[in-house]
Structure 1
Amino acid sequence: MSKETETMKHNAEVAQFRFALIAPVIQGLFPDASATAYYKRVSAAPLMLPEGTSVKYSYKTLENGNPCTAPEGLIH
């Protein structure tokens, strides 16, 4: 696999991971009382990135990653 193909595959995996975290809020399908409560619940435990690294996000990072509510964040 070429370096460019590997990079594109990695970028797609990261984008899917990030979207999966905020999609329930964008779609209005989260089971929690509020979007903030959802973000707090999801970020309570470390998350596994596509390359296998464990990372702990603040709920604010997830809130800022939602393009519907913030101009900057995870998507930038």
Structure 2
Amino acid sequence: MNFSQFMRQGHRWLSILFTLTVIANFAVMAMGAPPMWLVYLPLPPLFLMLASGLYLFALPYAARGRVKG
């Protein structure tokens, strides 16, 4: 598995983790005021998804630049 495939697979798993933390957040909010650690729990996967998503977004442009030049 090369780095690009690893990044793509990691991005997919991070999106699943992020979705589960958001669902947990809403479920606990329905029962009352959630603890602060649960409110901020979706942020780490979100920032990692931002980094991996920007990398995946830039891949085709970087490959196009390597082919031309």
Q: Which has the larger radius of gyration?
A: 2
Structure with greater strand share of residues:
1
Q: TM-score range by the shorter chain?
A: 0.3 to 0.5
**Structure with greater contact order relative to length (CA < 8 Å, sep ≥ 6):** 2
Structure with greater helix share of residues:
2
Q: TM-score, length-normalised on structure 2? A: 0.43
Q: TM-score, length-normalised on structure 1? A: 0.40
